[in-house]
Structure 1
Amino acid sequence: MSRQSNRTTDSKKMNSELFTLTYGALVTQLCKDYENDEEVNKQLDKMGYNIGVRLIEDFLARSSVGRCQDFRETADVIAKVAFKMYLGVTPSVTNWSPAGDEFSLILENNPLADFVELPDNHSTLVYSNLLCGALRGALEMVQMAVDVKFAQDTLRGDGVTEIRMKFIKRIEENLPAGDE
């Protein structure tokens, strides 16, 4: 019986490492295809956004999480459920703004950045920018407009990876005329 669980753990670790290496190959190719880091950052954000738009449906189906009542509850669900489910890590939610409309996700370990060192000629590359796009896309699908960006990154020598999220507005559903 213990042999079976070891196989499952090994399989998850192998899948995680394969994903990390594949993501690294994607970023490398983008760096070759685009002239500067800003363009690569935009492409990673755009790809992440498209992933988030599609991923939210899977997340809602698999997690059985209901509608969040406020931004604080949304932050907890992102950290404790979504990141754990898809990346196997649980970031801490901290640095709330006084208005309660902005917070930080602190990742002690960023699984996308395993085995990665940024070359000197890519000092403005936001390597894990896919995460920002995915968060923005997923939340937009549940009627929340947010601004998401990296504030700190271990790949740039910071002690932790910090993703800063700011609530912009609730998106009103536009119903066709007569469907109210």
Structure 2
Amino acid sequence: MNLATIASLIFYFLFGPSETTLRNPNCDCGTKVGRTLSGPSNLTFYIQNTVYNPAVDNTDYFTSVYGVPPNVTWTNTYSFGVTATFEDPITAGPANDSQQIGTAQGFWQLDSKVGFTLFHVFTANITEGDYIGTISILGQLREIDPVRYLTVVGGTGDFLGARGMASCVLVSIDRTPPAKWTLSFDLDLYY
């Protein structure tokens, strides 16, 4: 994915039409008639990630893959340009065997030549529980920060019109191939 494509995606997510402007006011379109924009003000979930690793042949249970390495001729200390695409289970608790309540689908890219920072874009598709819908989350974060903050830029279903902040914390990491980690997301949402 080239820089122009990434810039276009960022521009669209930040300044493009929101769900509220895209809805036809004369059509129910799967929402309740006369619905006001309101949903939960707080939501916590966990994302479970397992990286694909051909050395251990985990094709049956991986949830993310790295893209083609960047074509650079300098020493790339911070893996600038490395991209991963993921489709991770979202769980209600931090354990891998916790109840799955949805799926997180998106990508991240290491975007600095002077430190480990990454640009993260994903949609949390919540399919189980008291609230059903999607939440769109994006932002840049530094891997060394104990709490990482991302922006909630929209939602559908019970999260229609959601905006706010997602606090992300690394709960656990296992670097033994295939690498696995768990992230917690605490969302403060506004409608």
Same-fold call, TM cutoff 0.5: no
Query: Of the two structures, which has the highest relative contact order with CA contacts closer than 8 Å and spacing of 6 or more?
Result: 1
TM-score, normalized by length of structure 2?
0.31
Q: Which structure has greater strand proportion? A: 2
TM-score, normalized by length of structure 1?
0.32
